[in-house]
A and B are shown apart, each in its own frame.
Chain A
Amino acid sequence: MNIIVCIKQVPNTTQVRINPETNTLIREGVESVINPFDMYAIEEGIRLKEKLGGKVTVMSMGPPQAEEALREAISMGCDEGILVTDRAFAGSDTWATSYVLSQAVKKIGDFNIILCGKQASDGDTAQVGPGISTHLNIPQVTYVKKIESIEDEKIRVERMTEEGFEIIEAPVPCLLTVVKEINEPRLPSLKGKMRAKKSEIRKMTAEDLGCDFDKIGLDGSPTRVVKIFTPRPRKGGEILKGELSEIVEKITGELKSEL
């Protein structure tokens, strides 16, 4: 079973703060991490390999420093890392990004399952996974919370919905996006860390992938950001003091009109 895991390096959004004076993002001291949802995709890929044999290739599109994220994935147990990097990719929206990643998948060729996190914590679009599967014209299942069974030709999964879940059977090859409930990602072992250090990360550029330059970067992206602003921060309100009965009276009174 050959598995491709697509990951993204993101700023740790929980560390991002707003400078109240300039109303801008403070990025100093904000570390780069693997997108939290991608950790579950990496873990699930490694588990499938441990059960069925084969290989896990971890892949990321991003700037040169995204290599760190790939090494971390290798330290957890992925076999090899591919960094898809080129200045020509800058400004890519989800359409162009999923096109580039689908080109990289075609370059890798032999795969059975592609795994992605359900979305990235910086952009939160959840569009790149479905975008890759559509560019490749393979089936997808999104929001997967459990792989029930897997054979050479088909896979049975549980897809999380608002009301519960669906049981879906998909042919292999296919693409799955996964949610947190699917597993608990392992920590890298010392041996894994050593191996990750020595691993060679393959780099692929737009030309290597045979990308159509009209479909990548800013020019290949149908969407444009026209404005970025910081929302007015939510202010703390009133701390209610006094006897419990008074507080309950006050709260229920305030909320009554909303019920």
Chain B
Amino acid sequence: MSFEKKIKILKEVCVGCGFCVKVCPFAAIGMKSKKAVIDYDRCNLCGACVEACKFNAIEIKTLERKYDHASYKGVWVFCEQKKGEIQSVAYELLGEGRKLASKLNSKLCAVLLGEGVKEKAGDLFARGADIVYLVDSPHLKYYQDDPYSKVLTELINEFKPEVLLSGATTIGRSLIARVAIRINTGLTADCTGLDIDPEKKLLLQTRPAFGGNIMATIITPNHRPQMATVRHKVMKEAAVEKGRAGTLIEKEYKDEILSTRTNLIDVVEEMEETINLSEADIIVSGGRGIGGPENFKLIRELALALGGAVGSSRAAVDANWIPYSHQVGQTGKTVCPKIYIACGISGQIQHLIGMQSSKIIVAINKDPDAPIFKVATYGIVGDLFQVVPALTKKFKQILGK
């Protein structure tokens, strides 16, 4: 089918209200003689106009194919482990996965790959898994793209899950992207909301795009499994039910499935006094207003008192006051902790993109017009060199440190 026939304005139905022109994220619709006209060079067939048109005057036609989904059952969670420890994002996904499984009336299953991790299956049952698929092998001790993607592909092909979730971490985003291509199915990245369409029983995957300016809900209508990576810290961890039992299914694979072309030579942990950004429930960040690298001490002390992590704006990283791994924002990390305390950060849009989904934002800045105050739950206009130490002292008192 030619592209022109794929999307069509029904001229006799279009009233020329122009609403589609406004909703098009690609500026691909114009008005001509009071009717909407598509600019085919810009149109990306995203469908925003179809949904927005109150008169059903826009049609997108897609090829109808028949698929058999009946053999695909169960909600799977890929449970990532590092050094044999299950990562907390897996528990969050088991929490969310349980809700989806109930709505689909199917089982919640966990996939665990590693070496000497069999005993951890019990933790996954306790967090709600009905079945744990375990592959235990020295080749899987650390995450490596080749063996992990081949093993997961084998498991999916054999057991056919309906839904597969993974954390949108450096492991999840590398792994699941490869698996989706191998098994020819859809994948939605970095979701912040999941649900099941009550009628069609499809996974509704909602995620931010355009720097968080818009949200998109995405489905995988015809391919299985429906796969999503999910942002860390958004979903609530599954509660622990001690002694809860389930079915353990262990699989072994031949060397060709477990082989790798890349070699992991070394793992270097950049140890900090504070915990890492992506795991943190509380983040204290410093920006240009800190004045110099030595003053990050104040930020670190507050983070330590709160058991949180240290973040920074791009300005502080570019000035070499703190390593890049601490940068929050568009070219750094996206975080959504419970509490984000921004100290001496003006709040450029690039920074806001990375932290505006935090639950509570506290901003400390001497400039009352700083844009950070527009998103702050609590704003303090003042000198951070006085405010931050005072907060540290008080929190220490409260927390008995």
Contact = CB atoms under 8 A, between A and B. Distances in A.
Interface of A: 11, 13-14, 16-19, 22, 24-25, 27-28, 36-37, 63-65, 87-88, 90-91, 93-95, 98, 121-127, 129-131, 133-135, 139-143, 145, 156, 158-171, 174, 179-181, 214, 217-219, 221-231, 234, 236-241, 244-245, 247-249, 251-252, 254-256, 258-259
A95 B394 contact: no
B180 to A, nearest CB: 7
Nearest to B27: A27
B387 A244 contact: yes
A223 B395 contact: no
B353 A13 contact: yes
Nearest to A148: B265
Nearest to B172: A126
A168 B265 contact: yes
Interface string B250-276: 000000000001111111111100001
Contacts of B387: 244, 247-248
Nearest to A227: B217
Contacts of B356: 234
Nearest to B308: A259
Contacts of A126: 173, 177, 189-190
A58 B184 CA distance: 27
Contacts of A165: 268, 270
A90 B43 contact: yes
B25 A228 contact: yes
Contacts of A129: 177
A98 B174 CA distance: 14
Contacts of A142: 145, 170, 173-174
Contact of A125 (B190, B307, B332): B190
Contacts of A166: 264-268
Interface string B287-306: 00000000000000000001
A256 B398 contact: yes
Interface stretch (B45-53, B91-99, B105-113): B45-53
Contacts of B267: 161, 164, 166-167
Interface string B33-48: 0000000111111111
Contacts of B48: 225, 228
Given A90-B44, A98-B181, A164 B270 contact: yes
Contacts of B169: 162
B104 interface: no
Contacts of A125: 189-190
Contacts of A121: 211, 330
Contacts of B366: none
Contact of B222 (A22, A162, A222): A222
A259 B399 contact: yes
Contact of B45 (A18, A140, A218): A218
A155 to B, nearest CB: 10
A75 to B, nearest CB: 22
A237 B104 CA distance: 39
- Which of B262, B376, B387 has the most chain A CB atoms closer than 10 A to its own CB? B262
A166 B153 CA distance: 24
B325 interface: yes
Contacts of B374: 234, 236
Nearest to B44: A90
Contacts of A36: 330-331
Contacts of B215: 228-231
A33 B211 CA distance: 14
A225 B212 CA distance: 16
Contact of B210 (A13, A22, A141, A179): A13
A124 to B, nearest CB: 6
B270 A228 contact: no
Given A166-B267, A167-B268, A217 B45 contact: yes
Given A231-B208, A251-B362, A156 B378 contact: no
B200 to A, nearest CB: 10
Contacts of A256: 398
B186 interface: yes
Contacts of A161: 170, 267
Contacts of A221: 186
Contacts of A94: 177, 180, 187, 189
Interface in B310-333: 324-325, 327, 330-332
Contacts of A219: 1, 62-63
B379 A240 contact: yes
Most buried by B among A129, A165, A218: A218
B47 A87 contact: no
21 contacts: A27-B27, A91-B44, A95-B185, A123-B209, A130-B174, A139-B261, A160-B325, A163-B276, A164-B271, A164-B325, A167-B268, A174-B261, A180-B331, A218-B45, A219-B63, A223-B188, A226-B219, A241-B381, A252-B398, A255-B362, A259-B282
Nearest to B333: A162
Contact of B339 (A87, A98, A214, A258): A258
B248 interface: no
Contact of A13 (B211, B219, B264): B211
